[in-house]
A and B are shown apart, each in its own frame.
Chain A
Amino acid sequence: MQCPKCHAPMHTYNRNGVQIEQCSGCRGIFLDYGELEALTRLEAQWSPPAPPAQPAPQAYPSAPAPAWGAPHGGHAHYGHHRHRGFGRMLFSS
C-alpha cells in the first residue's frame, strides 16, 4: 500500500504477531483496526511490574528527529564505527 501522507510505498512488519505497515519514506506507521489494542495488550502482558521511580535508560531518543534521518531514530553508527567514520566526520568540514 501507499503512505497516505507522503505516498511512498509501505512495508509490512510483524511485531510480536501484530502486522504493522511502515512507510519507507517518512517511516510513519499504519495500524489496522484493533492492532493498537493488540500491541497495548502485549505491552501490558510483557512489561515487568511498574519499577520504583527510577527511570530506565532510554532505548529511543526522546529528542525529535527529521523523517529523512537514519532509520531506527539515529542509532546507526556511533557504536563500533566511532573511531573511524564517527571521528573523521565530526572533525571535518
Chain B
Amino acid sequence: MTPDPLLSALASHTAAMAHAETRAPAHSAAHPCPCPRPTEAVTLADRPDGTVVRHAGTVAKAHAPDTDPAELALRVAVAARLTGVLLPPLDTPDAPARLAGRLVTHWPYGAPVDPDDPDAAPWEDAAALLARLHRTPAPFPLPPMRGPAKAAQAVARLRARAPHHPGTAPVLSAWAALPAWARGEAAPPGAGTLCHGDLHLGQLVRHPAPGGPWLLIDVDDLGVGTPAWDLARPAAWYACGLLPPEAWQRFLSAYRAAGGPAVPADGDPWPALDVPARALTAQTAARSVTKAVAEGRPLDDVEEEFVGACARMASVPLAASGS
C-alpha cells in the first residue's frame, strides 16, 4: 500500500510536536521516546472529515479540507477555556497550523471508551458534561453549531450518490418534513446555547489517560444552537432500538440531575427531542444507504432499522414544541 501523503506528513509532524512538548512525560530526558522509529505514529482516525494521529502523549488532528480557519480557531479557544468539560488543546495559535493543505490542531492524548464494552460506556459522565456545556454562556461570539448542516450534507450526498436505492425515498421524505432550522436552512429557535454538535461515544476521553476524568473532544461542530441536538443521537439510538432503555434512562436522568436545559426537568422529554432525533435518524439512515451503495452491499439489519424509522415518520405528526 502506498503511504498516504497526508498521513506521512501528519505522522512526522506529530512526532516533532511530541518531542518538542518537553512536559510530556514519555519524552522527558528520563523517559526517552519509546517508539522504535522517531516518526512512528498511530493513526487514531482517518476519515474525509478528519485524520487523527497519535505519537506518545501528543495527538494531531488534520481537519476537513473545507474547514474555516477563523471559525476553527474560535472553537479551539472555547476548548482551552472550558476546563473540566472539553479536552484543552496543547496550544491556541491565532491561526491553526497548515500541513499538506489541511488545518492541523494539537491535543494531549486521552483514553477513549472501549468500543468492545458498550456496557461500560460512561452515560452519566457524558450527560453531566453536556449539561455543564449547555449551562455555560458562550465566552465570546461563536459560529452556529454545525449539527444541522452536517445532517444536510449527509442527505445531499444520499440524493447525489444513491438516487435509486429503495431506502432513499423514505429518508428524503422524512427529511423534507423537518422544520427549516433542523435542515440547516434557518436559524434555530431561541437565543442559542453552547452545543457540542456531534455527540457520540467516540467523543469522550479520559485525560490524563488512563484514569483521569472524562472530557468531551472534537470541537469541529461546536457552536451556538439548540441543545436538544446533543441529546438527539442517543435519543435516536434508543428510539430505533439500538440503545437499551436502561442506558437511555441513565443518560437522560443524569442530564436532568445536572440541570441540563435541553429538556424539561421532568415529564415527557420527547416534545423537545422529536425534531432533532428525527434529523439524526435521517442523517444516520442517509449515511448508511450511501455507504451500502458505495460498497455494493445490502443494508444490514441495524441500518434497515434507521431507514424503517424514517418510513414510519411520515405517519406521525411532528411534536409541537420542536417545530
Q: Which residues of A contact B66 (CB under 8 A)?
A: none
Segment touching B, from A14-22, A42-50, A68-76: A68-76
Find residues 56-77 in chain A having any chain B CB closer than 8 Å to their own CB.
58, 61-70, 72-77
| A91, CB-defined interface residue at 8 Å | yes
Q: Nearest-CB distance from A92 to chain B (Å)?
A: 6
Q: Cβ of A92 and Cβ of B202 under 8 Å apart? A: yes
| A41, CB-defined interface residue at 8 Å | no
Q: How far is the CA of A65 from the CA of B238 in the complex (A)?
A: 8
Given that A67-B316, A85-B302, A87-B116 are contacting pairs, would A78 and B244 also be in contact in the complex, using a CB cutoff of 8 Å?
A: yes
Q: Cβ of B115 and Cβ of A87 under 8 Å apart? A: yes
| A39, CB-defined interface residue at 8 Å | no
Q: Which residues of B contact A66 (CB under 8 A)?
A: 239, 270, 273-274, 277-278, 316, 319
Q: How far is the CA of A91 from the CA of B114 in the complex (A)?
A: 10
Segment touching A, from B72-80, B102-110, B307-315: B307-315
Given that A62-B245, A74-B245 are contacting pairs, would A68 and B200 also be in contact in the complex, using a CB cutoff of 8 Å?
A: no
Q: Nearest-CB distance from B282 to chain A (Å)?
A: 11
Q: Cβ of B242 and Cβ of A86 under 8 Å apart? A: yes
| B216, CB-defined interface residue at 8 Å | no
Q: Which residues of A contact B281 (CB under 8 A)?
A: 68
Chain B interface mostly: helix
Chain A interface mostly: loop
Question: Which of A82, A84, A91 has the most chain B CB atoms inside 10 A of its CB?
Answer: A91
Q: Cβ of B284 and Cβ of A89 under 8 Å apart? A: yes
Q: Which residues of B contact A62 (CB under 8 A)?
A: 245, 249
Closest B residue by C-beta to A27: B312
Question: Which of A87, A88, A90 has the most chain B CB atoms inside 10 A of its CB?
Answer: A90
Q: Nearest-CB distance from B116 to chain A (Å)?
A: 7
Q: Nearest-CB distance from A82 to chain B (Å)?
A: 6
Q: Cβ of B202 and Cβ of A89 under 8 Å apart? A: no
Question: Which of B270, B303, B316, B317 has the most chain A CB atoms inside 10 A of its CB?
Answer: B316
Q: How far is the CA of A71 from the CA of B305 in the complex (A)?
A: 10
| A6, CB-defined interface residue at 8 Å | yes
| B178, CB-defined interface residue at 8 Å | no
Q: Cβ of A74 and Cβ of B312 under 8 Å apart? A: no
Task: Give the contact-size bracket for chain A.
Answer: 35 or more
Q: Cβ of B115 and Cβ of A68 under 8 Å apart? A: no
| B240, CB-defined interface residue at 8 Å | yes
Closest B residue by C-beta to A75: B241
Q: How far is the CA of A22 from the CA of B251 in the complex (A)?
A: 31
Find residues 20-49 in chain A having any chain B CB closer than 8 Å to their own CB.
25-26
Q: Cβ of B243 and Cβ of A63 under 8 Å apart? A: no
0/1 per residue, B234-266, Cβ < 8 Å to A? Answer: 000111111111001100100000000000000
Q: Nearest-CB distance from B134 to chain A (Å)?
A: 20
Question: Which of B121, B241, B317, B319 has the most chain A CB atoms inside 10 A of its CB?
Answer: B241
Given that A66-B270, A77-B241 are contacting pairs, would A85 and B252 also be in contact in the complex, using a CB cutoff of 8 Å?
A: no
Q: Cβ of A78 and Cβ of B242 under 8 Å apart? A: yes
Q: Nearest-CB distance from A37 to chain B (Å)?
A: 29
Query: Could you list which residues of chain B lie within 8 angstroms of chain A, going by C-beta atoms?
Result: 49, 113, 115-116, 118, 121, 150, 198, 200-202, 237-245, 248-249, 252, 268-270, 273-274, 277-278, 281, 284, 300-303, 305, 308-309, 312-317, 319
Given contacts A74-B244, A85-B242, A92-B200, 9 further A-B contacts (CB under 8 A): A63-B249, A65-B270, A74-B238, A74-B239, A77-B242, A82-B118, A85-B302, A90-B121, A90-B237
10 nearest A-B residue pairs (beta carbon): A85-B302, A76-B241, A25-B315, A61-B245, A70-B241, A69-B239, A68-B312, A91-B202, A68-B313, A67-B316
In the assembled complex, 25 residue pairs joining A and B whose CB atoms fall closer than 8 Å, in A order, are A25-B312, A25-B316, A26-B315, A26-B316, A65-B238, A65-B239, A66-B239, A66-B277, A66-B316, A66-B319, A68-B239, A69-B240, A69-B241, A70-B241, A70-B305, A70-B309, A77-B241, A78-B244, A81-B302, A85-B303, A86-B118, A89-B237, A90-B201, A91-B113, A92-B202
